[in-house]
Amino acid sequence: MTNASFLDKLREIYPQDRLLTKKGQLVTYESDSLTSYQVQPIAVVIPEDQDEVIETVKTCNEYMIPFVARGSGTSLSGGSLPIEGGIVIALNRLNKIIEIDPKNRIAVVEAGVVNIDISLAAAPHSLYFAPDPSSQLICTIGGNLAFNSGGAHCLKYGMTSNHILGIKAVLPDGEVVELGSDSLESVGPDLVGMYVGSEGLFGIALEVTLRLLPKPETYRTVLAAYESLEAAGEAVSMVIAAGLLPGAIEIMDTLAIQAAESAVQAGYPLDAEGLLIVELDGEASIVESDFNALMEVMEESGASEIRIATDDEQRAKIWKGRKSAFSAVGRISQDYLVQDGVVPRSQLSKALGEIGKLSSEYGVRVANVFHAGDGNLHPLILFDG
């Protein structure tokens, strides 16, 4: 069987405007946000319902054609990089929010639903979806599930895997399975846990049942500037050692600060070598008590400047800068390679120091912006691509 006959089969499923085969049409799908690697697929299909996805996978299995699912293409690790001689199944139009159940605090959505849209749909019920990757304005729940995405608030609320109850998926041979349930407990092995984070290895998620949480009663967001990145890293250990569990702890270095400030004018101190963002959330009485303890730690940590968000607008501005930092680095470098590693919090300061030494030794600029609370480092190695 040839590619021509395979494409003819796809034409029985898709109209011309949803089956892309021309070189100019395929360029967009050659890579995700990790543009250092590119492979042109033989075709891209754009299904509008779950049945089309299932038929496509069955056809690929019949003709032995490899396929890769794609959401919004925000992955920085080649998650939707096409396979040579294969196709891309673009799932953005599988974007139905099937159900918001406020009584049981669950939502049922298709895989192409954008992360933030779940929280927006749940907001009238004072509920939200906790995982908040930096790309949450455009990334899809299917991609979050495939990579077990976290986000700034994963320190307190966990990863995507902590919020997925059930998955309807199509396996590589076209069989449709339903894993888990709409309850917090299910019998048998944890197949949902195995599927989340599998990066498409076991098939394509079509529909996801997920857990919603009550929106926190209040927030206190603190921004602290330091004269060295290592000092900011040391402050993280001090916060946790004090028995505090913030919703989020984030760090940015001077390159990331400058890039974010250039992009969104977040009001960050441009003379800081390290910037720490700490956010407390929850019941007002508990947050206020923790806030007093946090301020003591911040003062002891040697911060050169401490700012406290006094309203929702200031809080949003601080987070806008942080969440734009990855893309904003593109303003100060033609290209960059993102690394993703984890170190114990107690070794965070040392790890940052070593990164700085390597950067100086080899004359390569490195921007650091990362989830400090769980020691998840993201050095961005800048280069002229």
The DSSP call for residue 216 is P
Listed in order, the ranges of the chain carrying CATH 3.40.462.10 are 218-383
The pLDDT-based confidence of 184 (bands split at 50, 70, 90) is low
Give the Cα separation of 345 and 342 in Å (integer).
9
Please give the pLDDT value at position 185: 67
Give the Cα separation of 365 and 370 in Å (integer).
16
Please give the pLDDT value at position 1: 61
How many Å from the N-terminal Cα to the C-terminal Cα in the chain? Answer: 39
Do the Cβ atoms of 140 and 114 come closer than 8 Å? yes
Give the Cα separation of 217 and 247 in Å (integer).
13
- Using a pLDDT cut of 70, give the percent of the chain over it: 98
Please give the pLDDT value at position 345: 81
Instruction: Write down the CATH number for the domain with range 218-383.
Output: 3.40.462.10
The mean pLDDT value of the chain amounts to 93
User: Which top CATH class is 97-214?
Assistant: alpha beta
Amino acid at 188: G
Give the Cα separation of 301 and 310 in Å (integer).
22
Listed in order, the ranges of the chain carrying CATH 3.30.465.10 are 97-214
**In the block, residue with structure tokens 């040579």:** 84
**In the block, residue with structure tokens 């085969």:** 21
Give the Cα separation of 362 and 356 in Å (integer).
10
Q: Is the pTM of this model over 0.85?
A: yes
Given a cut of 70, whether residue 78 has pLDDT beyond it is: yes
Please give the pLDDT value at position 158: 93
Do the Cβ atoms of 286 and 233 come closer than 8 Å? no
Q: Angle formed by the axes of helices 50-63 and 3-11, to 10°?
A: 160
Given a cut of 70, whether residue 95 has pLDDT beyond it is: yes
pLDDT digits over 221-262, tens only? 999 999 999 999 999 999 999 999 999 999 999 999 999 999
Listed in order, the ranges of the chain carrying CATH 3.30.43.10 are 3-90
Half-sphere exposure of 57 (CA within 13 A, CB side): 23
User: Which top CATH class is 3-90?
Assistant: alpha beta
Amino acid at 23: K
Angle among Cα 171, 84, 80 to the nearest 5 degrees reads 55
DSSP helix/strand/coil, 41: coil
What is the DSSP secondary-structure string of 140-204?
Answer: BHHHHHHHT--BTTHHHH--GGGGEEEEEEE-TTS-EEEEE-SSS--SSS-HHHHHTTSTTTT-E
